[in-house]
A and B are shown apart, each in its own frame.
Chain A
Amino acid sequence: MEPKWAEENLQTIRTLMERSTIYRRALAPIMLFAGALGVAAAAIGLLFHLDSSRQFGVLWLCTAAVVVVGAFLIARRQAIKDHENFWSPPTRRVAQALLPAFISGLCLSVLQLLHEADPEVPKFIALIWIIFYGLALHAAGFFMPRGIKLFGWAFMISSLSLFYILGFFQINFDLSAHWLMGFFFGVLQLAYGAYLYLTENGKNAA
């Protein structure tokens, strides 16, 4: 018997066990769908000047709700197509990882949105949402392949940097919060979706 044989076997078992817990459904359609809606919502916000806290909140919370429902439907369709369980253990793990950050972001923003008076509130909310979305992606990244964790880090670092620029250095650029939302939840997700679309090898199972 080879002395290294047992060790290699244990390593193989570990790798296989990890692989079976990873969510592997194609993410490109979900990212492209979320990105397209993000761009559309930003365009609507800018076009119709939905700049008050309440208008901003309603627009983007409705967009988020549509994205969540749409993402579920896309994933479910993929599962049906592949003759697989939609609510599989990896799907459950990803959903559980996403929930705490999503709920925290939602609760914090609802509290802030009640303060109608301050015109800076939408910008603040946008940055909060970007951070919590980054946290959610990072948490889900433990059960997902393909650089989701890095994508989450990108959201968190960018948002924290903007917080510093706006708060610490008091550099107040005259930019609508819709631009921030459109860039992060629209353009970045579209870019990531396009990257996934071009590189995903057709593997599609969760």
Chain B
Amino acid sequence: MNPEPFLQLDRIIHEKGRLAIMSMLAASLELSFTELRDLLGMTDGNLTTHIRALQQEGYVAIAKSYQNNRPLTTCSLTVAGRKAFAGYINLLEKIVRQNKPK
């Protein structure tokens, strides 16, 4: 088996929690912090840590606003994030094809 695709996998996205966040955001334009937390069943602290890591890598953008006088934090994928996620999926598909019996 060729290990090359596996070695190319983005380590930031590859982590289970961050992959889940990226997957959710890839399917929506944006999701609020509470939506992400409830959908993924993560704690506030855990989600904050993962989002911060993704934000530092430039994959996720955070927007803070107010709705009905209450703070609203929304997350979305950046262009770089979408590109990295698409690349990650392509590599996974490559690995699956590689593992399929001929």
Chain A residues at the B interface, C-beta cutoff of 8 Å = 1, 3-7, 9-10, 12-13, 16-21, 80, 82-85, 88-90, 203, 205
- Which residues of B sit under 8 angstroms from A85, Cβ to Cβ? 32, 67, 72, 74
Does the CB pair B96–A19 fall under 8 Å? no
Choose one: B6, B34, B89; the contact of A1 (CB below 8 Å): B6
Question: What is the distance, in angstroms, from B83's C-beta to the closest C-beta of chain A?
Answer: 16
Tell me the dominant secondary structure on chain A's binding face.
Answer: helix
Choose one: B3, B39, B92, B95; the contact of A19 (CB below 8 Å): B39
Task: Please measure, in the bound complex, the distance between the C-alpha atom of A84 and the C-alpha atom of B30, giving whole angstroms.
Answer: 11
- Which residues of B sit under 8 angstroms from A7, Cβ to Cβ? 96, 99
Does the CB pair B32–A84 fall under 8 Å? yes
Does the CB pair B39–A20 fall under 8 Å? yes
Choose one: B34, B67, B70, B71; the contact of A205 (CB below 8 Å): B34
Question: What is the distance, in angstroms, from B34's C-beta to the closest C-beta of chain A?
Answer: 6
Task: Please measure, in the bound complex, the distance between the C-alpha atom of A6 and the C-alpha atom of B6, giving whole angstroms.
Answer: 9
Choose one: B24, B29, B30, B35; the contact of A16 (CB below 8 Å): B24
Does the CB pair B39–A205 fall under 8 Å? yes
Given contacts A6-B92, A83-B72, contact A13 B23 (CB under 8 A): yes
Question: What is the distance, in angstroms, from A178's C-beta to the closest C-beta of chain B?
Answer: 40
Indicate whether B10 reaches chain A with its CB closer than 8 angstroms: no
Given contacts A17-B24, A83-B72, A85-B72, contact A205 B35 (CB under 8 A): yes
Indicate whether B8 reaches chain A with its CB closer than 8 angstroms: no
- Which residues of B sit under 8 angstroms from A16, Cβ to Cβ? 20, 23-24, 27
Does the CB pair B32–A83 fall under 8 Å? yes
Q: How many residues of B contact A (CB 8 A)?
A: 31
- Which residues of B sit under 8 angstroms from A20, Cβ to Cβ? 23-25, 27-28, 31, 39
Given contacts A13-B23, A17-B26, contact A83 B89 (CB under 8 A): no
- Which residues of A sit under 8 angstroms from B1, Cβ to Cβ? 1
Does the CB pair A13–B99 fall under 8 Å? no
Chain B residues at the A interface, C-beta cutoff of 8 Å = 1, 3, 6, 19-20, 23-32, 34-35, 38-39, 67-68, 70-72, 74, 89, 92-93, 95-96, 99
- Which residues of A sit under 8 angstroms from B68, Cβ to Cβ? 80
Does the CB pair B89–A10 fall under 8 Å? yes
Given A1-B1, A203-B38, A205-B34, 4 more pairs with CB closer than 8 A: A18-B27, A83-B67, A84-B35, A89-B30
Task: Please measure, in the bound complex, the distance between the C-alpha atom of A83 and the C-alpha atom of B65, giving whole angstroms.
Answer: 11
- Which residues of A sit under 8 angstroms from B6, Cβ to Cβ? 1
Question: What is the distance, in angstroms, from A85's C-beta to the closest C-beta of chain B?
Answer: 6
* 10 A-B pairs in the complex with CB atoms less than 8 angstroms apart: A3-B99, A10-B92, A12-B20, A16-B20, A17-B27, A19-B39, A20-B23, A83-B70, A83-B71, A205-B39
Given contacts A10-B92, A83-B67, A84-B34, contact A89 B28 (CB under 8 A): yes
